[in-house]
Amino acid sequence: MTLLPPTPAQQKRIDKELPSDPEMRKQDIKMLREWLSKQSHLPNHIDDGQNWERFLYNCKNSIERCKLILERYYAVRTSLPEFFAARDPLSQDIQDSYNAINYFVLPSLTEEGYRVSIFRLRETDVEKFSFQALVRRVLMVLDIRLMEEFCLSNIMIIDLERCSMAHFAKFSPTQSIVRRAMLAVQDSMPFRLFSVHFLHAPSFITNIINIFYPFLKEKLIQKFHVSNGGGEELHAYINKEILPNEWGGKAGTFQELNATWQQKIEKNRDWFLRDEKLSHTDEKLRLLESNTSCLLMEFEGIQGSFRKLNID
């Protein structure tokens, strides 16, 4: 099992933070279905395959927020094919990405009910680092999580130990593909972000982060924790028991956790191939007053996709 459910103590904390009202949830889902029936531009399989309850929960039970994210969830699949038009888990670029980059989600939640994701290079050869393939993997993992779990928020850990300036150059926001990835990941998924931890940060990391500042909310910047130390720095923030073995925890090794998520993505191959064919919008049928018709205009104008990030 790759995503363990909350413990009773975690569930109690989650329920306190975001109380559940089953009757209200039924009414909310009914309203969403009625809204969907009037959105002719959206794919007609949503009601069969999309878990409304998880979408609503991740949007803090806000129907209007849920409508917006659902719109954007499908709009980016049409507008950003570089991340959604080739999502075969067995494709060579995705397979190569597993060998070059550790990217996985830890099995256990934090005590607060947060989910922890980890990014760490395995291969130092910059030629083997594909930013585009990594973004595809991230989006595939997020889709699986939408199908399987609830969590209050997310913690991202980025271990920069093996990163060079050449790697940083590949995901600079000055590049169009990086800004488009921001749009795909941050504006079209109903996940909240609690904090980002940078480990083994090089001396020039401040200059790198400064490049991103125009695209970030001040509130998000305040969530950054930058350290030149390793995994032991996380013990002050996260129960070390849930961390990878190499960082003093018991979740498994980096290699094991990376391989587990590779297998999980490959197990869902049929879903990804089907979703690639079905999950598109018909922009000719979109109503002009739709608040997502300006999605790409926001991007092209570099209004800053992170500026709409749902931050706790």
Q: What is the pLDDT of residue 93?
A: 94
pTM of the model: 0.89
Predicted local confidence at residue 131, as pLDDT = 92
Q: What does the pLDDT read at residue 288?
A: 58
pLDDT, tens only, 90-130: 999 999 999 999 999 999 999 999 999 999 999 889 989 99
pLDDT for position 261 = 97
Residue type, 168: F
Q: What does the pLDDT read at residue 301? A: 46
Answer whether 157's CB lies under 8 Å from 115's CB: no
Q: Spell out the per-residue pLDDT of the chain, length 312, in tens.
A: 689 999 999 999 988 888 878 888 889 988 988 888 888 888 877 764 457 788 888 888 889 998 888 888 888 888 889 999 889 999 999 999 999 999 999 999 999 999 999 999 998 899 899 999 999 999 999 999 988 888 899 999 999 998 988 888 887 777 888 888 888 887 788 899 999 999 999 888 878 777 777 766 667 777 889 999 999 999 999 999 999 999 999 999 999 999 999 999 999 999 999 998 888 888 787 765 555 444 555 544 433 433 444 445
| The predicted structure's pLDDT at residue 305 | 39
Supply the pLDDT for residue 311: 46
